[in-house]
Amino acid sequence: MTRRSGVWGAALAVLTALLATACMPTPAEPRGDDGTGLTISQPVDVSTLDPQKQGTMTDMSVLINIFDTLTTRDDNGELVGGLATEWVAVDDLTWRFTLREGVTFHNGEPFDADSVVFSVQRILDPATRSPIGELSLVEEVRAVDAHTVDFVMKEPDPILPEKLALFGGVMLPPEYARAEGDAFASSPVGTGPYEFVEWQRGDRVVLEANPDYWGGAPQVQRLVFRKIPNAADAMAAARTGEVDIVSGLSPDAAAQLEGSTEVEVVAVPGIRTFSVSLNAEVEGPLADPRVRQALNHAVDVPALIDSVLGGYAQQVATLLPKQSDAHDPSIQPYAHDPERARQLLAEAGYAGGFPIALSAENQYATVVQAIAGQLAEVGVQVQVNLMDAGTFETRSLEQDAGDLDPMFFYGTTPWTLAGWSSFAGYVPNSATKSRFDNAEADRLFQVVESSLDPAQRQQAAAQLQALLKEEAPFIFLWQADHIYAMNPAVDWKPGPIGLLRMNTATTRS
């Protein structure tokens, strides 16, 4: 009796474990490469496939293949037509867009002015809870005829066409979206070069080529976007050929792959610009512009880029990356000059240096500590406070980023490539995270934001960059490269914004 029950008990346990194992869910589609497909990995999962409810690079990289925008940037970074062919400012508050004809959505619905009106209204509708902020100045959008649309603004917005190259300008099919409701987020339909096939949460998104794409059918038939959170695993997958393109690599990870024959490391200048924000508004050493200039002289940016970032970045003079429309190439970055730094500190009354705290995200630990080391050489003792990204974000979204230290290290991406994007979050006194109070800067920013005369905006932006260099409310650092590990048989030119737009990719097989 006892022996049998013992055996039965053990058998039961083993059987349960076996059953649990046998019920493994397997994906319906065969995986990855069958010669006509590309597998691309990203470190983070897709959160939604509704282009108007997301704001992350990961989501946008997938969705940019399914959806088109009214305007777009070409390979040289020039603003060109997408689903719109022409645009003109009819008056100070109205932009008129002429739409491309003969375009249909993947489900057959025609693309016309109604689609534009529907899509824009959906973003502006509070019920959508869209995190996309680019259309905040749009008062109303009207169809003039089947292929012409007017955007009426609340205030003059000279860069509305640039903003519509981003996800504010994504076009959705009205009938289908209304019918699907919330389910649209898991079965999207757009006008783009790829159609949605399936999404296995936490694992992969599969797309198939749209043979009727208005921009020409893509050569690669199938795209599989996989989530691989661990960089070592992603690189291993690239080496075995399970993944063709690994995106989001850090310089450290890329260094491990240098010299590999199985995988090519491709680095492209990006637009994400890094700086250290200095709190110029509170009493203390940072309130004196000479101190701030000294900090800029103390940091050796080219050395940092070479040693800590493996060369995968480029120095910037102020806040604008070189690809920005408003970038002024005549402004030179601060020279590394510790002598001058000590001199300026002495003039300001800090000959012996001073202690100060700096906040940064954990992932930037190495580079921030290198910066602290360079500042220590001129007597500035920096206490580095590292925290995880979520905590950093949370603390920065306070008035004057008040919950962060007097110095904080951050990166920002000027999505529209217009000068406004680089200044808006951090320069004008009214911006939440701005710790800089300068009437001339505010005035120049106003011109950049609202003047409809491109020459006037350009001049104001140039003057603002010169002012920023002089006043130095930031330690100006660099713009980071986008680093990819690629299968050598893949021919794909990544863009500066860093989105995984694949319609021009080809495979040499």
Is residue 26 near other proteins by the rule CB under 8 A? yes
**How many CB atoms within 10 Å of residue 284?**
13
Q: What is the C-alpha to C-alpha distance for residues 205 and 188, in angstroms, rounded to an integer?
A: 12
Give 3 or 508: the residue with its C-beta nearer to other proteins: 3
Q: What is the C-alpha to C-alpha distance for residues 132 and 111, in angstroms, rounded to an integer?
A: 22
Site for other proteins in 127-166 (CB under 8 A): 129, 131-133
Binding mask 339-378 for other proteins (x = CB under 8 A): ----------------------------------------
Which listed residue (88, 90, 351, 389) binds other proteins by CB under 8 A? 389
Least Cβ distance, residue 68 to other proteins (angstroms): 22
Is residue 15 near other proteins by the rule CB under 8 A? no
Give 218 or 270: the residue with its C-beta nearer to other proteins: 270
Could you tell me which stretch among 12-20, 64-72, 82-90, 153-161 binds other proteins (CB under 8 A)? 12-20
Is residue 322 near other proteins by the rule CB under 8 A? no
Helix %, strand %, coil % for the chain, to 5? 35, 25, 40
Q: What are phi and psi of 43, to 5 degrees?
A: -75, -15
- The residue whose two tokens read 């010169």 is 466
Least Cβ distance, residue 168 to other proteins (angstroms): 11
Is residue 5 near other proteins by the rule CB under 8 A? yes
Is residue 18 near other proteins by the rule CB under 8 A? yes
Give 229 or 373: the residue with its C-beta nearer to other proteins: 229
Name the burial class of residue 353, with classes exposed (0-12), middle (13-18) and buried (19+) by CB atoms within 10 angstroms of its CB.
Answer: middle
- Selection from 76, 40, 464 nearest residue 244 by Cα: 40
Least Cβ distance, residue 322 to other proteins (angstroms): 22
Query: Is the Cβ–Cβ distance between 222 and 206 less than 8 Å?
Result: yes
Query: Is the Cβ–Cβ distance between 83 and 191 less than 8 Å?
Result: yes
Least Cβ distance, residue 389 to other proteins (angstroms): 7
Which listed residue (73, 204, 272, 327) binds other proteins by CB under 8 A? 204
Binding mask 54-93 for other proteins (x = CB under 8 A): -x--------------------------------------
- Selection from 248, 223, 222, 226 nearest residue 237 by Cα: 226
Query: Is the Cβ–Cβ distance between 225 and 40 less than 8 Å?
Result: yes
Q: Is 259 left (phi over 0), alpha (psi -120 to 50) or beta?
A: left
Least Cβ distance, residue 18 to other proteins (angstroms): 7
- Selection from 223, 229, 326, 233 nearest residue 273 by Cα: 326
Query: Is the Cβ–Cβ distance between 321 and 476 less than 8 Å?
Result: no
Is residue 261 near other proteins by the rule CB under 8 A? no
Give 247 or 293: the residue with its C-beta nearer to other proteins: 247
Q: What is the C-alpha to C-alpha distance for residues 317 and 320, in angstroms, rounded to an integer?
A: 8
Torsion sign across C-alpha atoms 414, 416, 417, 423: negative
Classified as helix, coil or strand, 61 is helix
DSSP assignment of 325-362:
TT--TTSPPPP--HHHHHHHHHHTT-TT-EEEEEEEEG
**How many CB atoms within 10 Å of residue 142?**
14
Is residue 226 near other proteins by the rule CB under 8 A? yes
Could you tell me which stretch among 75-83, 157-165, 221-229, 376-384 binds other proteins (CB under 8 A)? 221-229
Which listed residue (352, 390, 439, 509) binds other proteins by CB under 8 A? 390
Which listed residue (20, 329, 330, 508) binds other proteins by CB under 8 A? 20
Q: What is the C-alpha to C-alpha distance for residues 325 and 79, in angstroms, rounded to an integer?
A: 10
> Bridge-partner residues for 138, per DSSP?
153
Site for other proteins in 96-115 (CB under 8 A): none
Could you tell me which stretch among 41-49, 153-161, 361-369, 464-472 binds other proteins (CB under 8 A)? 41-49
Q: What is the C-alpha to C-alpha distance for residues 276 and 411, in angstroms, rounded to an integer?
A: 9
Which listed residue (101, 393, 437, 440) binds other proteins by CB under 8 A? 393
- Selection from 151, 51, 161, 52 nearest residue 420 by Cα: 161
Q: Is beta strand 84-91 parallel, antiparallel or unpaired with respect to 138-145?
A: unpaired
Is residue 9 near other proteins by the rule CB under 8 A? yes
User: How many residues of this chain interact with other proteins, rule: CB under 8 A?
Assistant: 64
Is residue 242 near other proteins by the rule CB under 8 A? yes
Q: What is the C-alpha to C-alpha distance for residues 401 and 62, in angstroms, rounded to an integer?
A: 32
Site for other proteins in 165-184 (CB under 8 A): 182
Which listed residue (35, 102, 181, 202) binds other proteins by CB under 8 A? 202
Site for other proteins in 409-438 (CB under 8 A): 412, 424-425, 431-433
Least Cβ distance, residue 393 to other proteins (angstroms): 6
Is residue 53 near other proteins by the rule CB under 8 A? yes
Is residue 122 near other proteins by the rule CB under 8 A? no
Interface residue list for other proteins (CB under 8 A): 2-3, 5-6, 8-9, 13-14, 16-18, 20-21, 23-27, 31, 44-45, 47-48, 53, 55, 129, 131-133, 182, 185, 200-204, 226-230, 232-233, 236-237, 239-240, 242, 388-391, 393-394, 396-399, 412, 424-425, 431-433
